[in-house]
Amino acid sequence: MALSPFHLAIPVHNLETCRNFYTNTLQLEEGRSSDHWVDYNFFGHQLVIHFKDKTEADTHTNQVDGKAVPVPHFGVVLEWEAFQEFSKLLKSKNIAFIIEPYIRFKGQVGEQATMFFKDPSGNALEFKAFKDMTQLFAK
């Protein structure tokens, strides 16, 4: 079965700062927009950033492989080589990683490369990759 693109809309408290981040830092292609929202091609999926006044947000983490993983978060599973290139790009742009790129579950079922960081509005993103994509849903 072919994957269908997902649609995700997230709040941002500074539309122009976040537009700059998603367009120039992450180098995503911008689609339709208005003065309150911007569509992006998020690796073949539709991501929309919507302006919303800043409020206090609950910050939660769960321990995964000895790291404090922010919840909620979103992202994409990339091909292995694409992950390596994307992590190099982000490092060159001095991204403040929550969790630096590393190999999680090394030598175990589900071994993967992963990294976490936040956008300027505090939305947590995770990008990951599997050398063996059959491990994506492995138990």
Three-state SS string over 51-63 comes to ECCCCCCCCEEEE
Residue 57 has a pLDDT of 64
Per CATH, domain 61-135 is 3.40.50.720: no
Same fold, 7-51 and 61-135: no
Residue 2 has a pLDDT of 81
Q: By the 8 A CB rule, do 46 and 7 touch?
A: yes
Residue 101 has a pLDDT of 98
Q: By the 8 A CB rule, do 78 and 86 touch?
A: yes
Residue 121 has a pLDDT of 94
Domain positions in the chain are 7-51, 61-135
Segments in 80-137 forming alpha helices (H)? 80-92
DSSP 65-96: TTEEEEES-EEEEEPHHHHHHHHHHHHHTT--
Residue 3 has a pLDDT of 82
Q: By the 8 A CB rule, do 41 and 29 touch?
A: yes
Alpha carbon distance 120, 13 (integer Å)? 9
> Nearest-CA neighbor of 33 among 12, 54, 57?
12
- Strand (E) or helix (H) holding 18: helix 15-20
Q: By the 8 A CB rule, do 89 and 49 touch?
A: no
CATH top-level class of 7-51:
alpha beta
Q: By the 8 A CB rule, do 31 and 39 touch?
A: yes
Alpha carbon distance 22, 120 (integer Å)? 10
- As averages over each run of 10 residues, the pLDDT of the chain (139 residues) reads 90 96 98 96 97 79 91 95 97 97 94 97 96 90
